[in-house]
Chains A and B, each alone.
Chain A
Amino acid sequence: MMSFFEQHAIYVVLVIALVIWLGLAFYVNKLNGSVKELEQQIKLKD
């Protein structure tokens, strides 16, 4: 496994890039939900 990644370093870059992107997407998606909830609470108070 280790020797495979040593010989194909670009796959390590691919895995890291995908992990960073999917983590960011998950966080932004969660933030999207929180903003929606906040907006609904403001609307309800109206």
Chain B
Amino acid sequence: MKALILSLGFIIGIGWGLYPGLLKPRPLWMRIGLISVMTIMVFLALFPRIAGTPEDVALIYRMGMQKPIPVVCKIDVSKAEKQESGEWMIPIQGKEKTFFLRLTADKLNPADFGNGISLIADLQRGNTDAELRLSNIIQIDPLITLPYIVGLEERARILYFHVPMSWIAFLAYIVSMIMSIRYLRNPSPRLDIIASSSAALGTLFCILATVSGAIWAKFNWGSFWNWDPRETSIFVLLLIYGAYFVLRSAIEQEETRARLSSVYSIIGAIAAVFFIYIAPRIYGGLHPGSADDSNAGPVISQQAGTLDLLKQIILSMAFCAFTMLYFWLLNLAARIRIAGRELQSRMLHKESLS
């Protein structure tokens, strides 16, 4: 199911990109479609509150942390029991067992709530694993919530931006390779322009993914750069494509430049497959899916519970939106360069006539 949902995002994005043609202007409805999908995706990625289950409170405590965490729970006031101490005990249902929420009258009076109200509240462990204490109410009747991941919390939202940007970098290098192969079979300046524009966009998205990952790493792993196998492989990949642009700028003759950079782009894309998908999985590291990780990472792992349905839908929308954006930018970059080339050749022709 997960593979189907995520593939749907890719397929719609690629379909949007290839219709009505790589270099054809995008009609208004397609542009509105892209802007809407991206806006909805950003909203869904950042608007819902992150909230765990009562089980997460016990897990946090067992890990040696005694802080309150946001938990989504349903409160049924009719089952509340008043203790001799004046506190209230309300049963709340966890994933597998029932917990009890202890409320002091000054914090909250159960009578303030109707029956069966759901809320997100900061809870922490009480005297036993089954007893929870409320420290703050965050939201009443939340529409949707994202799951709480121990150790990641709000930082888990990077998944919807960092992963699609990395995917776009890879897609752009593959498109550049395909256009380079087509150029070598049938030399046309348009194919070379698409190939180099795609490589430039790939490098742009690769830098964006690296920068977003580095900022995240500072808050989660303690420093901006850790020489984790995936960070190292991305650094090497950036050097490879940096050399591609150096090569292009070093050759003045158009045909030679196009032919040599096409060959380089093919080799670069093969290296990209190795550096993005193979090398980081051979060695142990900090990124999910490394050799010493328990699964292949939240996106491609087939283990149950690695990515819940809402996260799958948002991630699929992110893949779709970023793929659409890439194809739109590629379309514009290539069309601008083709128009510029046309104007330049006309000016040269005019000069030669005069």
Contact = CB atoms under 8 A, between A and B. Distances in A.
Interface string A4-43: 0000001101100110011001001101100110110010
B47 to A, nearest CB: 6
Given A17-B42, A29-B31, A39 B329 contact: no
Interface majority SS on A: helix, strand, loop or mixed?
helix
Contacts of A14: 42-43, 46-47
B267 interface: no
Contacts, number: 51
Contacts of A25: 34-35, 38
A17 B46 CA distance: 9
A32 B31 contact: yes
B335 interface: yes
Contact of A28 (B39, B42, B43, B329): B329
Interface footprint category on A: 10 to 19
A21 B335 contact: no
Interface in B28-46: 31, 34-35, 38-39, 42-43, 46
A39 B341 CA distance: 12
Nearest to B340: A38
B46 A35 contact: no
Contacts of B348: none
Contacts of B328: 28, 32
A25 B332 CA distance: 13
A3 to B, nearest CB: 14
B339 A42 contact: yes
A39 B335 contact: yes
Contacts of B49: 10
Nearest to B161: A17
B25 A22 contact: no
B154 interface: yes
B43 to A, nearest CB: 7
Interface of B: 25-26, 31, 34-35, 38-39, 42-43, 46-47, 49, 154, 328-329, 332, 335-336, 339, 342-343, 346
Interface of A: 10-11, 13-14, 17-18, 21-22, 25, 28-29, 31-32, 35-36, 38-39, 42, 45
27 contacts: A10-B47, A10-B49, A11-B47, A13-B46, A14-B42, A14-B43, A14-B46, A17-B46, A18-B39, A21-B38, A25-B34, A28-B328, A28-B332, A29-B31, A29-B35, A31-B332, A32-B25, A32-B26, A32-B332, A35-B25, A35-B335, A35-B339, A36-B25, A39-B335, A42-B339, A42-B342, A45-B346
